[in-house]
């Protein structure tokens, strides 16, 4: 069975990967059937031959989970369509404080809504 997977290159703690088609029983650094592109997770730079990747998938090659994500988020020209996450992780104390503030604001809005019809 053929797999589309990543082949690790680069120095320690500075990985870069090649996206390759390879037999599933071959070791990670083995000789690939075809190289489809490259990916650098540190800088989010990717170049992929999207048509060739889709052609291999039609032939029955199975992409790994990471490669499937990269193919799904690939632009027409083979670059990665990376969207940075906007969410900010908060500590437990900060989450509790935020929830308390939201609860107080909701109670104040409910109290204001009750007083408004009484004045009219």
Residue ranges in the chain whose pLDDT is less than 50: none
**What beta strand segments (E) does the chain contain?**
2-11, 14-23, 34-40, 45-48, 62-63
0.75 exceeded by pTM: no
pLDDT of residue 117: 66
Give me the CATH topology for the region 2-72: S16 Ribosomal Protein; Chain: A; (3.30.1320)
pLDDT of residue 28: 78
What's the pLDDT score for residue 34? 94
Quick: pLDDT tens for 42-62: 999 999 999 999 999 999 999
pLDDT at 5: 94
Q: Are 14 and 42 in contact (CB under 8 A)?
A: yes
Backbone dihedral region for residue 13 (phi beyond 0: left; psi -120 to 50: alpha; all else: beta): left
């Amino acid at each position: 069975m053929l797999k589309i997977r990543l082949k690790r290159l680069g120095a320690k703690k500075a990985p870069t990967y090649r996206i390759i088609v390879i037999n599933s029983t071959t070791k990670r650094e083995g000789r690939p059937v075809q190289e489809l592109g490259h990916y650098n997770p540190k800088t989010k730079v990717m170049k992929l031959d999207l048509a060739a990747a889709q052609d291999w998938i039609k032939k029955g090659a199975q992409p790994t989970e990471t490669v499937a994500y990269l193919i799904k988020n690939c632009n027409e020209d083979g670059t990665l369509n990376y969207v940075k996450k906007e969410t900010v992780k908060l500590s437990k104390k900060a989450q509790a404080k935020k929830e308390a503030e939201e609860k107080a604001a909701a109670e104040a809005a409910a109290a204001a809504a009750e007083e408004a019809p009484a004045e009219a």
